[in-house]
Structure 1
Amino acid sequence: MPGLLVLMGSGETSPTMVEIHRAAARSLRAGARAVLLDTPYAFQENRADISARACRYFAHSVGLDVEVGAAITGADWVFAGPGSPTYALERWAESGVAGDLRARIRARTGVTVLASAAACTAGLATVPVYEIYKVGAEPHWREGVDLLEPLGLQAVLIPHFDNAEGGTHDTRYCYLGERRLSRMERELPPGTAVLGLDEHTALFIDLGDESVRVAGRGALTVRRMGSCTVLAAGTRTSLAELRRLAEGGTDLPIPPEPEPEAAPAEVTLEESIRSCEELFEAAADRPDLVAAAQAVLDLEAEMVKWAADTEEDSGGVEQARELMRLLIARLGELASTASRRSLGLPVLVEPLLELRAELRGKGCYDLADALREAMARGGIAVEDTPEGPRWTASS
């Protein structure tokens, strides 16, 4: 089977990367053996839940039945994703998995997919992001697995390259920011390049014909001290050209090729949250409870869609759930305002009851109860009867 190395900047089990995973799995034989390495997040208490969500994602969205934590020797497809790069490095060194991963690339067989924390380990050095960003350790490198060395690339790989979660402070470059990355670059061996992968973006390296492709929402940045080249999504080139850029080539960026058959890029959960909130606010200003309730339903649908996301950039599903609770409370306030203005309560209350019924039908009982309580605060009492919900308005 032809070999393929896929490196992802983030979003590895999100809707944004489904088509990328499908493209990587397309060359697999029927009944291919697929292994998910849970090592990067194995220290987390919710390890089993993360694995279960990832397995559901690959089964339902990609069509792969995945084994968790199994030996990777002879596996057709291997995946590792979010967690701690340094935790993964230490365990892979002890268990021999690091050597097995390098052997796959040297042999140029099998599909190997590394994302986020795991992608961080792919170069000759690794960013210890937990230790630097979360614990406050001095910026430093740790030795990497260096899957790029057999491909003739002397480089480090930095995912989350365009991260913007910091808002008022610089969290680009896997939360390092420019100041720390510039300092760390000076500590790399001479001639080492930085390969920066944006979030929801993938680098495909075909180990057979040595073709290279950038896919997804962002870009691959090839950075050397004092210069960089940006390869936008859609760029197709060769491993030889990527080596040349990593060695300091200074030609103009390679223009991306059009991909007319590609599906439109999926929006991120953060973008969906913002859109639903804006739609709700616009409906509340009119006021239009039907449209406001629909915005809440749209937000709930996005939560379901992103439920398998194991990394949850920018707060993820939990952030969406918090916003949904806030919007539900606002719906109660809108009902109260409508009651005082005598704007025709049946027209305003029925959409709220339909929203509550839909939430209950999907098993979101906590959110349905929150909506009932919000309506009660707005002067609308809801009673569940065998014939269905019945509501009354306080005078």
Structure 2
Amino acid sequence: MPGLLVLMGSGETSPTMVEVHRAATRALRPGARAVLLDTPYAFQENRADISARACRYFSHSVGLRVEVGTGIAGADWVFSGPGSPTYALDRWAESGVAGDLRARVRARQGVTVLASAAACTAGLATVPVYEIYKVGAEPRWREGIDLLEPLGLQAVLIPHFDNAEGGTHDTRYCYLGERRLSRMERELPEGTAVLGIDEHTALVIDLESESVQVAGRGGVTVRRAGASAVLPAGARTDLAGLRRLAEGGAGGAAVPPPAAPPEAPAAEVTLEETIRASEERFGAAVAEPDLVAAAQAVLDLEAELVKWAADTEEDAGGVEQARELMRLLIARLGETAAAAGARSAALRRLVGPLLALRTALRQQGRYDVADALRAAMQAGGVQVEDTPDGPRWSLTS
């Protein structure tokens, strides 16, 4: 079996991570056993729906048939994602899954993909994000399963490192913010580094060749004692280089990312960015007004909703937010169409007498006044064309 450890900051079942998943599964044998660990979100009432969406995502987008289970011994591919890190830790310790995960990495066999909450558990300590951010508990660490120790890394892992959902308050560093992270760093064992993985980003470690790559949209930050080094998207190094960075030295082997292509792939656009772009396109079309373009903006947003339907995490710019915007835009489209119809009816009542007046002026030889009236109508959005059958008019865009 190929040996691969993939740690994702977020977006694990979104279009942004499809290519990362495909690359991770490319070397799997035909009929490979793939297991989804639902433990981090197993306490949620909608656990079955989350699992079903994730399975559809891996089947349709990645081409991998996945079973939901708790036994991972002998599995070719194992995945776990969103939910509560501490809930997962407690259950994995009881069931032996924590030991099985460590054994996979120590043996350097199998593809292991941990994302979001599950990725939190991969270091020697874990951020209890639910308790701190959602319940208000005092910042503290929980013991992690330490998948990084067999790789010679003394580190904690923090996903959602560049999160910006807070707006006026700092939600970076997996919703901790700078103040709380700085305080918690001082409580770590001496020599421990922080590996921060941005959203829609993956740290891919080949356990056989020991090559390391940053894939996705963001970067990976190696932080220790207040000093940070960033491996940007596309950067490549090796475990030795990553260890040097974690120990406070220069990575040395890091390679800068290749030049960005002229147009970024559509899969790298987040749903949050799509929502914002659709709203801007719709607003510009309505201002014209161009009802066809406005309707197309709504249709394009609906197509993106279909692509993102499997997203199990739904952080900033989630599917529900996109649905709410689509309903709003449809309502606005109806209002705009109704207003356009009303304007058209009013114009018809006004244009008829104006055309009759212009015809009378032309019959009286007062062509200069008739031409001025035609120019005024054109400036107001009414195009007049003289034909053998009489004048015709239309609205200009």
3-state SS in 1 of match to 2:316: helix
Alignment of 1:97-246 (within 5 A): 97-246=97-246
CA gap of 1:146–1:107, structure 2 versus 1, over 3 A, is same
Q: Deviation at 1:259?
A: 7.4
Q: Aligned AA for 2:131?
A: E
Structure 1 stretches of 4+ with a deviation exceeding 3 A read: 250-255, 259-263
Per the normalisation by structure 1, the TM-score is 0.85
C-alpha contact (below 8 Å) 1:163/1:174 kept by paired residues:
yes
CA gap of 1:131–1:15, structure 2 versus 1, over 3 A, is same
Q: Cα deviation per residue 1:1-31 (whole Å; 9 max; x = unaligned)?
A: 2310000000000000000000000110111
Q: What residue in structure 2 maps to residue 43 of structure 1? A: 43
Q: Cα deviation per residue 1:148-185 (whole Å; 9 max; x = unaligned)?
A: 00110000000000000111111100000100000000
Q: Distance in 2 between matches of 1:301 and 1:247?
A: 46
Q: Distance in 1 between matches of 2:317 and 2:270?
A: 12
Alignment of 1:217-296 (within 5 A): 217-250=217-250, 254-258=254-258, 264=265, 266-296=268-298
Q: Aligned AA for 1:290?
A: V
Q: Cα deviation per residue 1:62-103 (whole Å; 9 max; x = unaligned)?
A: 111001014100000000000000000000001000000001
Q: Aligned AA for 1:193?
A: A
Q: Cα deviation per residue 1:222-267 (whole Å; 9 max; x = unaligned)?
A: 0001211000011111101101110111468934242789973510
C-alpha contact (below 8 Å) 1:231/1:253 kept by paired residues:
no
3-state SS in 2 of match to 1:223: strand
Q: Distance in 1 between matches of 2:90 and 2:166?
A: 29
Per the normalisation by structure 2, the TM-score is 0.84
CA gap of 1:141–1:344, structure 2 versus 1, over 3 A, is farther
CA-based RMSD of the aligned residues comes to 1.8
C-alpha contact (below 8 Å) 2:271/2:317 kept by paired residues:
no
Q: Distance in 2 between matches of 1:209 and 1:250?
A: 21
Q: Distance in 2 between matches of 1:137 and 1:72?
A: 33
CA gap of 1:91–1:269, structure 2 versus 1, over 3 A, is same
C-alpha contact (below 8 Å) 1:125/1:156 kept by paired residues:
yes
Q: Distance in 2 between matches of 1:57 and 1:291?
A: 31
3-state SS in 2 of match to 1:270: helix
3-state SS in 1 of match to 2:117: helix
C-alpha contact (below 8 Å) 2:241/2:254 kept by paired residues:
no
Q: What residue in structure 2 maps to residue 300 of structure 1? A: 302
Q: Cα deviation per residue 1:193-240 (whole Å; 9 max; x = unaligned)?
A: 000000000001111111111111000000001211000011111101
C-alpha contact (below 8 Å) 1:217/1:233 kept by paired residues:
yes
Which runs of 5 or more structure 2 residues have no equivalent in the other structure? 348-397
Give the count of matched residue pairs.
Answer: 345
Q: What residue in structure 2 maps to residue 86 of structure 1? A: 86
Q: Aligned AA for 1:159?
A: P
CA gap of 1:175–1:253, structure 2 versus 1, over 3 A, is farther
Q: Distance in 1 between matches of 2:315 and 2:340?
A: 37
C-alpha contact (below 8 Å) 2:237/2:255 kept by paired residues:
no
Sequence identity, in percent? 83
3-state SS in 1 of match to 2:321: helix
Q: Distance in 1 between matches of 2:13 and 2:246?
A: 29
3-state SS in 1 of match to 2:268: coil
CA gap of 1:252–1:176, structure 2 versus 1, over 3 A, is farther
Q: Cα deviation per residue 1:114-170 (whole Å; 9 max; x = unaligned)?
A: 000000000000001111011111111111010000110000000000000111111
Q: What residue in structure 2 maps to residue 63 of structure 1? A: 63
Q: Distance in 2 between matches of 1:172 and 1:267?
A: 20
Q: Deviation at 1:342?
A: 1.4
Q: Aligned AA for 1:314?
A: A
Q: What residue in structure 2 maps to residue 29 of structure 1? A: 29
Q: Aligned AA for 1:284?
A: V
Matched, 1:311 2:313: yes
3-state SS in 2 of match to 1:313: coil
Q: Which stretch shifts more, 188-197 or 252-261? A: 252-261
